[in-house]
Amino acid sequence: MTTPTTAPSPGGPDTVVLIHGLWMTPLSWKGWVDRLTAAGWKVQAPAWPGMEGTVEQLRADTSPYEKLGVTEIVDHYDGIIRGLAAPPVIIGHSFGGAFTQALLSRGLGAAGVALSPAPVKGILALPISSLKSSFPVLKNPANRNRAVPLTEKQFHQAFATSLSEADSKIAWETQSIPGPGKPLFQAASANFLPHSPLRVDRRKADRAPLLVMGGTEDQIAPPAIVKATQKLYAKVPSRTDMQIWDGRSHYIAAEPGWEDVADKAVAWAAEVTTP
C-alpha cells in the first residue's frame, strides 16, 4: 500500500498540468490522472500539438506532428497554462521535463517537477547511454523532419529497462508511438546555438520552485543529467530540489511503484506552494 496522494493545500494551486515525453502520448499519465484526481486535484494532460488521438491513429499517420519542434510544443503548453484561472503545478517527463523548465523560465507555473528530464541548454553531461538511446534518430539527418519509432528491442533497452521483456513488450505495443526527430536534433545542438529553443533563464530569481527527479537505472536521462540539471540553477535563490530513485528506469512515470513518484511530486509541490 502506497502513501495516499497529498491533496491541494488551501490557498495553493489546485491544478496539475502533465506534459508527456518523446515516443509517448498522454496515455502514459493515465495512472497519475486517476490518482491525482481522486485526491482532489484538477488534472490536465494535453498532447503535444498534432498528437491528439489514439496510439493506433498516431502510428498510422505521423504527418500532423512529424516536423514538430521544441518552440511549437512549448508555445502550445504556454497557451494552455495562460488560459487557466491560476498558475498550476507543471509536471513533465523526459522532454516534458525540459519543457517544464522552459515554461518556468517564462514565468509560468506555481511549481514544476522535471521527471527524468531531457537536457536543456547548459547541460554538458551527456553519458554514452544517452547518446546511444538517441542514435536511432540522430544517425540520419533526414530524421529531423520525420517521426521515428523505437523498435520493441530499443524501447526495452533504453526506455523500460526495469520491466521484464514481456511487460516491456506490452508497454511498447500499447503506449509507444513514433517520435518527431526535430526535438532530439535541437537538444543535440543546444549548447552550440546562442538562441537555442532549449535555452532557459538559469539566473531567474523569481522562478517557481523546481524539483528534478530521476532513476538510477535510467539509460536516457541517467543521474548525471539529473544532477547537472539541479546544478545548472545553483547560483539563483529560486528553490531547486532533487531526488534520485533507486532502481527506477526512464519508464519511471508508469513502471511498478510509480505511485510513490506521483505522491512525492504533488506532496513536494503542495509543500513549496503553501501560502
Over the stretch 49-108, which tens digit does the pLDDT of each residue have? 999 999 999 999 999 999 999 999 999 999 999 999 999 999 999 999 999 999 999 999
Tell me: pLDDT of 31 over 70: yes
Per-residue pLDDT of 137-167, as tens digits, reads: 888 999 999 999 999 999 999 999 999 999 9
Per residue in 164-209, pLDDT (tens digit) is: 999 999 999 999 999 999 999 999 999 999 999 999 999 999 999 9
pLDDT of residue 128: 65
Confidence of residue 125 (pLDDT cuts 50, 70, 90): confident
Domain residue limits, the chain: 15-272
Cell, residue 21 = 515525453
pLDDT bin (cut points 50, 70, 90) of residue 275 is confident
User: What percent of the chain has a predicted confidence (pLDDT) above 90?
Assistant: 90
Rounded to an integer, the average pLDDT of 199-224 is 95
Quick one: pLDDT at residue 1? 39
CATH number for the segment(s) 15-272: 3.40.50.1820
Residue-level pLDDT at 136: 78
Contact between 48 and 182 under an 8 Å Cβ cutoff? The reply is: no
- Which tens digit of pLDDT belongs to each residue from 47-62? 999 999 999 999 999 9
Residue type present at position 151? T
CA torsion angle 257 158 213 85 (round to 10):
-90
